Amino acid sequence: MKIHAYEKLWLVAALLLIVGFIATITYGSVGLGIAMLDDSEETIEPKELNDDERFGEPRVEQVGENEYEAYVVAQTFIFQPDPIEVPANSEVTFYVTSRDVIHGFAVPGTNINAMVIPGEVSKMTVEFDEPDEYGIVCNEYCGDFHHTMEGQLNVVP
Ligand code: CUA
């Protein structure tokens, strides 16, 4: 059987298309897998926060040239550390947990807005370009002084 050169070309094109589809699907699921891993909640015992390597001493730590990690504890009715200070032109990953009840960790003017659940660690990565000052608010009702629960986030030059 003889296949015309023109038909051969179409066969190859169709095959490439199929390979492309499969690659897209495979790549897509790999991406999804990573996202799901990233979303999975890390657990932590609220009673043991004081002995925890990160949350025993809430702080901001430099982990790369322009990379920082902030370990933040929310509790009635404060955030620790306060203020949180990070340098401009940095990428900061926040790890936030609660010592007692459910709190919020929201920074109006940024896309930081997380629920902070005792026993779990909320993680979010944010880039800060310009020096600025932000307020941190708790947006989950957590008791009588919920409305006073505020913190400060300073992006310093
Ligand atoms: Cu903490 Cu509302």
Output the pLDDT for position 122: 95
Q: Is the pLDDT of residue 13 over 60?
A: yes
Spatial separation of the C-alpha atoms in residues 17 and 39, rounded to whole Å: 33
Q: Which atom of ligand 1 is nearest to the CA of 74?
A: 1
Least confident of 7-16, 62-71, 120-129, 148-157: 7-16
Decide if 37 contacts 63 (C-beta within 8 A). no
Whole-number Å distance, alpha carbon 52 to ligand 1 midpoint, is 22
Output the pLDDT for position 34: 38
Whole-number Å distance, alpha carbon 140 to ligand 1 midpoint, is 5
CB atoms within 10 A of CB 96: 26
* Bridge partners of residue 69, in order along the sequence: 61, 93
> Does residue 142 have its Cβ closer than 6 Å to ligand 1?
yes
Same domain for 69 and 85, yes or no, is: yes
Same domain for 1 and 51, yes or no, is: no
- Closest CA to ligand 1's atom 1: 103
pLDDT tens, 15-60?
666 566 556 555 544 444 434 444 556 789 999 999 999 999 999 9
Number of domains in the chain: 2
SS3 52: coil
Same domain for 86 and 32, yes or no, is: no
pLDDT > 90 in the chain, percent: 72
Whole-number Å distance, alpha carbon 152 to ligand 1 midpoint, is 15
pLDDT tens, 59-87?
999 999 999 999 999 999 999 999 999 99
Same domain for 20 and 78, yes or no, is: no
Same domain for 19 and 74, yes or no, is: no
Spatial separation of the C-alpha atoms in residues 74 and 101, rounded to whole Å: 9
> Does residue 123 have its Cβ closer than 6 Å to ligand 1?
no
CB atoms within 10 A of CB 72: 26
Between 91 and 25, residue with greater pLDDT? 91
Same domain for 142 and 67, yes or no, is: yes
Could you tell me the residue range of the domain that residue 141 belongs to?
42-156
Same domain for 119 and 149, yes or no, is: yes
